[in-house]
Structure 1
């Protein structure tokens, strides 16, 4: 229906969300380098304030590295219940402007405001008003990217962080992409960027110069995607009912574990975490995966898919333990375990007595 109408897409991204919530709620933390996470020996940074980022502290960084980079770093334990509550506040604001909201995480979302509910004349005006509302109602700042497709809107939201917004209009999309290093493209990780660079593709302009056939030969199914975005094209729609593909939880032990009972205690705790989410959201899958990371950082996964749905805590626990036990005996200490459920189906859980054999 909108083939001949340029869409108006906003990507809203909260600024250092978890850390900003902590600084908002504890005045003693304001203006100081803050990391949300567990500052223990095996901990990792879940989020970092902008004051901490100046020292090179980043999310997913080991706590020990973060503390070496910033000796004054303050670690705060995460409060996910609070973050979820604030996220819901923010999404309620979004809903006053458009029903077309695609959440990507607790702190970011795409909005299609081609036809906004407030009748504001431009997407830029809409983004500015949403950002003002977020600040007035939560005390937090957000950045926004505005463009005619999701790919460009996502890139634009990084251009004026924190607490700013940036517009890439239709007539400027291709030009913007041409001047951008491919390593900065959303969705292009370190390995892919290195492969692109090795092929002489350093910028969007270099990517645009390559033929579709060349890109398909070197990147397979991703070739047409790279060909399109090099020209500023992305036809993906904002999906307000985007189905979550999996739910998982993992933990890093304070000390390496060797004893099966100790390992399985951690696995059961993670399985229970996952079940709580599945039960609360009435989302049930048929595949369970157990992840194990050893002390030498080697990672293995074991998965099993059953005929029906994993529709009880007991079944998830039993499947998780079975997969864990398939990795025994333990010759190298285990530092991390994780459990996830995937292959979700959108229906109520069937009350089946599922066999575990096979």
Structure 2
């Protein structure tokens, strides 16, 4: 319902047409040049939210130390229309087919670009994007079907979607929800607030997260996952790639259906699985449990053994280092028992491979 109301409000608003923009008369826009804005508008007063929507370009929101806002409009030829540059006259002619709206409503900045008719020649289509500079505390609602989304140096509730680009987040705080169907995800120095989480997913790209903390859900259906220097509760899953990471503290659940799992310097609770690869893990400190499983590879683990443990290890072959204060059974393909009287459950299974613990 909120989504429909938002769209209706945009359609009902007065649009700024191409003739309202002031540009350099010698301006020529190229596919490889996104440094020159076609137009810039500034706004004053209290700014607490941004709503932006475009069908063919990228969206950027960057926090600054000021209290107002600035919106830069970028216009580029689409890279499938046989041209790599446009002059001012042709830009203005093509913009007649679009409604471009940049305005302030109360404390909200609204920036939208929409083609008026779907029947127009696709070879004349444009990529129209926005770069929006705001105060650091701001919430966003962003939608684009043909470009990337970038957020940096902001704090608040962030909700963004793209069907054809990547997601880039740098120093973003708050309740974060983002999705792309055709690009990668990059997360750097981000954190969620106490009651929220970082929820990012892609259907066609890799995920790279680093130097971030909080409750995170990082899912991809078509790429690898790399995790470095993370703290918190992390759920990382892929259906088509490997999972790699280092220096992770807290609770980690990592899974893949199409690759290996490689994790180093993990401190905390760990649940990792793969259906088509091996697992190699080093833990520096144990949490509440260790659960590792693979159906098509081996498992190799290095971990401290100075706490009470409940071991359950199984594979075609199970090899373990020295077991001190161990009571239980030790066979070629199975080790079950307690160390130091029992405690943390350690469950490791390799259906068609070997298990190596501290070997």
Task: Quickly name the TM-score band, shorter chain normalised.
Answer: under 0.3
TM-score normalised by structure 2 residue count: 0.22
Higher relative contact order (CA 8 A, sep 6+): 1
Structure exhibiting the larger radius of gyration computed from Cα positions? 2
Higher strand share: 2
TM-score (norm 1): 0.22
Which structure's residues are more often helix, by fraction? Answer: 1
